[in-house]
Amino acid sequence: MSGRSSLRRSILIIIVLAAIIRFIGLSSLPPALNRDEAALGYNAYSILKTAKDEHGQFLPLSFKSIGDYKMPLYIYATIIPVKLFGLNDFSIRFWSALAGVVSVIMIYLITKKPLVAFLMALNPWAVFYSRIAFEANLALALFLVGLWLLLKKKPLGYIFWLLACLTYSSALIFIPLFFIFYYWRYRPKIIPSSLFLVSFSLIFIGLWQVSSQKQNITVFSDPYLIDTYNKERTLQYQKNPLKTKLFYNKYVYFGKIVAINYLTTFSPKFLVLKGDNHPWHQIPKVGNFYFLEIILALIGLLKLKKNRLLFFAWLLLAPLTSAITIDAPHSTRSIFLLPIILIFASAGLQKFKKFLPAIAIIYFINVAYVSYQYLKVYPIKVAGSLPVGLKEQLISLRNSSEPIYLTNVHDSTYLYPLVYLPIDPKLFQQTAVWTLPDTAGLTHAYQFANVTISD
């Protein structure tokens, strides 16, 4: 009984630790919203006030936003914290932070190993993504809740998988593929499984605007790659037509690119040295995992036994959604990789329990270094890509009726006065003047209410 009480106490401490790390100072670190966060928050605010999004669409299933068509669930869920706490950084990031805590709980319930929960609580990828309004982070938590329920043979888990599919576009690829292996391994009841597939199909069709827009970021739609392929194929065809048809067709060409992207997701650079190339997705000079986690995960690949086949399928499928995109490897699109590597790391540690003190010292040196990079270096580095100064200026102008002039329309500057002033959604819908779509299909409002934005 005392052992069980000690286990419960340990889990509670881990959960509290995870919550503190994710919620303390949530409004100030990162120091300002990025444009995607601002778009999520303002559309939630607009729905709350007018039942329409920023473009005046009534309760949409996909949000046009700046032209990148966002998934609906995070926005609709954000109505609740915006109603409770107002439109601010904290309320916009609330669900991602809570999802980070839920993921810690779920990874323990799935594995029954406190160590995995502890690793999840302190992992740099998990912490960093929980403190920014990433739809992917909420989708990951919903996936884990669903998996836990399904492993307990409760079909209710399918509901959470469907909710994940309404939250982030990568789930539309990863979850149905993962379902195939889950169904093959556990043979769940046919009726709930069939209902899941039907419901998923309806969601996919309903979110076609989102899906079709996301096709523009795949390697198959990249103009540069297509042009390169056509030129190279023409040259090769002149030399040897038969060989070109067999070995230099579009399936081989794009297949190689996807394979390279897939393998780079498992590269040391992505996993432990840097992460991906986007400044919004990384702590300076820090990868997505501590190097010790990766070493232990490699050992755990051989050690793990329970749910082995399902977990291997999880590991192999997780990078696919990132691999088919032009900027792979991509931390957000690879988010489903995060917990499974920690599960393998936990299994690897079981083999070296007698070295636990030494491993703990190395681990906490890792934690100390990453903490310094995040708390001290990151706010300085990220200030150049976030509207840190603009945030404070706009907040100081909240009660002003004077005209406001801002620059840099092409960075979606308009979203920041919408959030930080904030602008009445009905007034914005009536007065917004929009740019034409740019080469990426993005549009921006350059005049609304008393705000004018120019280059």
Q: Is 227 within a domain?
A: no
Same domain, 364 and 401: no
Same domain, 293 and 397: no
Same domain, 421 and 274: no
CA-based angle 131:376:114, to the nearest 5? 50
Same domain, 341 and 408: no
Same domain, 211 and 345: yes
- Please identify, among 325, 347, 382, the residue that sits at the C-terminal boundary of a domain: 382
CA–CA dist 39, 133 (Å, integer): 10
The reported pLDDT for the residue numbered 231 is: 86
CA–CA dist 3, 185 (Å, integer): 33
Both tokens of 408, joined, read 């840099």
Q: Is 105 within a domain?
A: yes
The DSSP element (H or E) to which 447 belongs, if any, is strand 445-448
Q: Is 258 within a domain?
A: no
The gap from C-alpha 89 to its chain's centroid, in whole angstroms, comes to 18
The reported pLDDT for the residue numbered 214 is: 62
Helix, strand, coil percentages, rounded to 5, for the chain: 65, 5, 30
Per-residue buried b or exposed e for 212-223, using 16+ beta carbons within 10 Å of the residue's own CB? ebbeebbbeebe
Q: What does the pLDDT profile of the chain (455 residues) look like in tens digits?
A: 567 888 899 999 999 999 999 999 999 999 999 999 999 999 999 999 999 999 999 999 999 988 888 999 999 999 999 999 999 999 999 999 999 999 999 999 999 999 999 999 999 999 999 999 999 999 999 999 999 999 999 999 999 999 999 999 999 999 999 999 999 999 999 999 999 999 999 998 888 766 566 666 788 887 888 888 888 888 887 888 877 787 788 888 899 999 999 999 999 999 999 988 888 888 999 999 999 999 999 999 988 877 888 999 999 999 999 999 988 899 999 999 999 999 999 999 988 878 889 999 999 999 999 999 999 999 998 887 888 888 888 999 888 888 999 886 666 889 999 999 999 999 999 999 998 887 777 888 999 999 999 87
Q: Is 407 within a domain?
A: yes
Q: Is 364 within a domain?
A: yes
DSSP 8-63: HHHHHHHHHHHHHHHHTTTTTSSSS--HHHHHHHHHHHHHHHHSB-TT--BS-SSB
The reported pLDDT for the residue numbered 422 is: 93
Q: Please give the tally of structural domains in the chain.
A: 2
Same domain, 133 and 196: yes
Q: How far is CA 132 from CA 70, 92, 93, in A?
A: 16, 9, 6
The gap from C-alpha 349 to its chain's centroid, in whole angstroms, comes to 27
Tokens 């669903």: give the residue. 146
Half-sphere exposure of 440 (CA within 13 A, CB side): 14
Q: Is 250 within a domain?
A: no
CA–CA dist 430, 413 (Å, integer): 19
For 371, residues 6+ apart whose C-beta sits below 8 A from its C-beta are none
- 384: burial class by Cβ within 10 Å (0-12, 13-18, 19+)? exposed
Phi, psi of 350, deg, nearest 5? -60, -30
For 368, residues 6+ apart whose C-beta sits below 8 A from its C-beta are none
Q: Is 230 within a domain?
A: no
Same domain, 183 and 279: yes
The DSSP element (H or E) to which 434 belongs, if any, is strand 433-434
DSSP 139-197: HHHHHHHHHHHHHTT-TTHHHHHHHHHTT-TTHHHHHHHHHHHHHHHH---HHHHHHHH
391: left (phi over 0), alpha (psi -120 to 50) or beta: alpha
Contact 65, 444 (CB under 8 A): no
* Alpha-carbon Rg for the chain in angstroms: 23
DSSP 321-371: HHHTBTT-S-TTTTTTHHHHHHHHHHHHHHTTGGGHHHHHHHHHHHHHHHH
- 288: burial class by Cβ within 10 Å (0-12, 13-18, 19+)? buried
Same domain, 406 and 353: no
Q: Name the pairing type of β-strands 404-407 and 451-454.
A: parallel
Both tokens of 104, joined, read 């810690």
Same domain, 303 and 413: no
- For residue 338, list its beta bridge partners: none
Phi, psi of 43, deg, nearest 5? -65, -35
Instruction: Tell me which residue range forms the domain holding 278.
Output: 2-31+88-216+265-382
Half-sphere exposure of 410 (CA within 13 A, CB side): 5
Q: Is 58 within a domain?
A: no
Q: Name the pairing type of β-strands 445-448 and 433-434.
A: antiparallel
- Please identify, among 382, 408, 423, the residue that sits at the C-terminal boundary of a domain: 382
- Please identify, among 382, 402, 428, the residue that sits at the C-terminal boundary of a domain: 382
Same domain, 199 and 137: yes
Same domain, 346 and 417: no
The reported pLDDT for the residue numbered 215 is: 64
From the list 307, 367, 312, the residue with the least C-alpha distance to 337 is 312
Same domain, 435 and 449: yes
Contact 312, 185 (CB under 8 A): no
- Threshold 0.75, pTM exceeds: yes
Contact 209, 62 (CB under 8 A): yes
The reported pLDDT for the residue numbered 262 is: 96
Per-residue buried b or exposed e for 331-353, using 16+ beta carbons within 10 Å of the residue's own CB? bbbbbbbbbbbbbbbbbbbeeee
